[in-house]
Each structure stands twice: as structure tokens, then as C-alpha cells.
């Protein structure tokens, strides 16, 4: 029943992912949510985020931010990072994921999406046929509509952990 929302992987942080391993496995494109995936909601790109994307470029990855936020938010975050981005992506609609892969020159087989929300980020990536990694939200402060979704996510994650044997 909830399987369409189950992530392919569930990790503590986008900063804990073994990106070198993913590159060795043949992945070349990384799509990222921004708020509560890379920085607290509404925060600018910090030193840790800047260093992560410098590292990803050194490894050989191409990256794109895929956000439901408006252009002002996404562009201001990206000022210090300098990657491709798509604002107002309407996740979980598939179109933004497909446009991001076109920008990067990647496809479903060599692209991964990383985000913190099941019902937008992960569900959209699954619908687009992209491997996905769910990460825990960086900060508890969120907009009210996201807070409400987090209650439902807890139910889905309970069944995910039960199936994975990690309860």
C-alpha cells in the first residue's frame, strides 16, 4: 500500500552519502532538493554546502537543484554554488525530473535524486524512474503544510523500516 512512497535508500544526511561509490557504480547526475536536505528551510548556502558541490564536481558529477520554491529562493541559494537549477518544479510531477536530466545530459539509469520529503521528492523520483535517497530533515522548523505531511511520513516510514527489518 505504501510501497510507492518507500525510498530506495534512507540515510541520515546528504553529507553522509558515499558519492565516490555512486560514481564508481556509474552514476553521473545528482538531483537535489534544497530546503531541509542541504540547509535549514530558507537558509543560504553555507560553507558545508559549497564544499560538498566542489567535491562533487571534482569527482565528476553534474548536479541540478530541483525545487518547488520560487526562483528568488533557488537562485539565491545557488549564488555561492553555481549549479543548474529548476525552480517551481511541481514535485512530485515528473516533468521537473525529466527537464533536470536533460540539462545534465543524463538519463534514468545514471541519475539519483536526494531529498528529505517522501510525498514530493521521493514519490516524484520514483514516478520518474530515478533512483532516490531520502535523508532526514536538517532542522525541525518547517512550513505548516510540511509539518502536517511529516505526521503522515512517520506512518509510511514505520512500514518501510518494518519491511527493511530496521525497526
DSSP string, 92-130: TSSHHHHHHHHHHT--GGGEEEEES-IIIIIHHHHHTT-
Query: Residue 32's closest CA among 127, 130, 109?
Result: 130
Q: How confident is the model at residue 3 (pLDDT cuts 50, 70, 90)?
A: confident
Strand order in the sheet with 131-135: 9-11, 131-135, 111-115, 29-32, 62-66, 84-86
Lowest-confidence pick of 13-17, 99-103, 113-117, 147-151: 147-151
DSSP E strand boundaries for the chain:
9-11, 29-32, 62-66, 84-86, 111-115, 131-135
Phi, psi for residue 65 in degrees, rounded to 5: -85, 130
The dihedral sign for the CA sequence 20, 21, 26, 29: negative
pTM: 0.90
In this predicted structure, the answer to whether residue 1 has a pLDDT above a threshold of 60 is: yes
Distance CA 83, CA 7 (A): 25
pLDDT value at residue 40: 94
In this predicted structure, the answer to whether residue 89 has a pLDDT above a threshold of 80 is: yes
pLDDT value at residue 66: 98
For 11-54, the pLDDT digits (tens) are 999 999 999 999 999 999 999 999 999 999 899 999 999 999 99
C-alpha cell of residue 113: 535524486
In this predicted structure, the answer to whether residue 144 has a pLDDT above a threshold of 70 is: no
| Number of continuous H segments (helices) and E segments (strands) in the chain | 6, 6
Amino acid at each position: 500500500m505504501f510501497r510507492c512512497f518507500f525510498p530506495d535508500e534512507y540515510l541520515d544526511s546528504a553529507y553522509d552519502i558515499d558519492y565516490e561509490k555512486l560514481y564508481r557504480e556509474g552514476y553521473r547526475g545528482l538531483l537535489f532538493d534544497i530546503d531541509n536536505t542541504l540547509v535549514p528551510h530558507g537558509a543560504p548556502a553555507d560553507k558545508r554546502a559549497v564544499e560538498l558541490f566542489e567535491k562533487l564536481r571534482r569527482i565528476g558529477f553534474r548536479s541540478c537543484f530541483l525545487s518547488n520554491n520560487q526562483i528568488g529562493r533557488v537562485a539565491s541559494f545557488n549564488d555561492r554554488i553555481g549549479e543548474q537549477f529548476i525552480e517551481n518544479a511541481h514535485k512530485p510531477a515528473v516533468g521537473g525530473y525529466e527537464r533536470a536530466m536533460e540539462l545534465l545530459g543524463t538519463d534514468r539509469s545514471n541519475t539519483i535524486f536526494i531529498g528529505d520529503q517522501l510525498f514530493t521528492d521521493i514519490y516524484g523520483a520514483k514516478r520518474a524512474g530515478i533512483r532516490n535517497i531520502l535523508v532526514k530533515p536538517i532542522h525541525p522548523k518547517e512550513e505548516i503544510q510540511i509539518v502536517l505531511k511529516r505526521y503522515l511520513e512517520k506512518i509510511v516510514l514505520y512500514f518501510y523500516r518494518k519491511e527493511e527489518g530496521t525497526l
